[in-house]
Amino acid sequence: MPRALWKGAISFGLVYIPVELISGAKDHELDLSMLDRRDFAPIGFKRYNKKTGKEVVWDDIIKGYEYKPDEYVVLSDEDLKRANVKATQTIDILTFVDAAEVPLTYYEHPYYLLPGKGGDKVYALLRETLRKSGKVGIANVVIRTRQHLCALVCIGQAIVLNTLRFADEIREMDDLELPGATLKAAGISDKELNMALSLVEGMSEQWQPDQYRDTYRDDVLALVKKKIKARQTKTITAPEPDADEKPQASNVIDLVALLQQSLGKKAPAPKKTPVKKVEPRKAAPRKAAAAGKSPAKRKSA
């Protein structure tokens, strides 16, 4: 059982649900170390006192807010908690909205909410209410000194807390160069759209997340094993001269042909301009050579 990152309660109306917060994501990023290319020794990063230059151990490190240059207000964990006790201990549901109304660009990081001691029934009640209503709960929560906007979502038997980005953290799309909003403005014909819909329909299947994996990470680890086997652990591979390949230009000349090929149909052959056959001129029939003429004369004739 993973360790809880946060313990508190969900609050909406007069309902109070004790919960624990567990991260819903696992990081499989490749853990690469920084090395000195001259002797391949690992590079270390030290926490040091900027006045004395001496290293500082974790037990001597505290937090502070710089209110003017080189002047700090010391803030302990207890200070941060006392600033707003309720905010640091409560997931405060502000409202409920339709799940489809929250754009995907707002979702940030998932956490599982587990019921605390004695909270099973009321936890299940909120879960089933979210499921039946098709709503998500929009709430505030403070995690590690930062307040987050979040959405409480019913997924299977769990209530998932998904932290959300604030509106001012989302880049506006007004200054982006995007195709026209209508089919006509984007230069798309009904035929092209219908063929694309057919292609999507043919490629559609049920969501099976287990069939997808980080194949690039697997390829890098396979390369690591290969270099170990070949005893090339200290070999620095130089880039090839034409490693920077230019991306292929998208073929937008005949979109219908590409869609037809994708659908497994043969693209229509390009129309050829019919060429008129020119009949060769028939040679005039030779007159029979007069009897008695010499071969030379017949040739000249």
Angle 266-269-270 from CA coordinates, rounded to 5°:
145
Give the pLDDT of residue 68. Answer: 85
Give the pLDDT of residue 248. Answer: 54
Please report, for the chain, the start and end positions of each structural domain, with discontinuous segments joined by +.
Answer: 6-25+76-169
Break the chain down into helix, strand, coil percent, rounded to 5. Answer: 30, 25, 45
Give the pLDDT of residue 207. Answer: 81
Residue 257 buriedness (CB in 10 A; 0-12 / 13-18 / 19+): middle
Mean pLDDT of the chain: 79
Torsion angles phi and psi, residue 49, rounded to 5: -75, 120
**Secondary structure element (H or E) that encloses residue 135, with its range:** strand 135-143
d(CA 22, CA 8): 12
Q: Is this model's pTM higher than 0.75 or not?
A: no
DSSP 240-288: PTT-SPPPPPP--S-HHHHHHHHTT-PPPPPP-------PPPPPPPPPP
Task: Work out the percent of the chain whose per-residue pLDDT is above 90.
Answer: 22
CATH number of 6-25+76-169: 2.40.290.10
Cα-Cα end-to-end distance for the chain:
113
Q: Which of these, 36, 12, 35, 26, lies nearest to 141 by C-alpha position?
A: 12
Q: pLDDT tier at 4 (50, 70, 90 boundaries)? A: confident
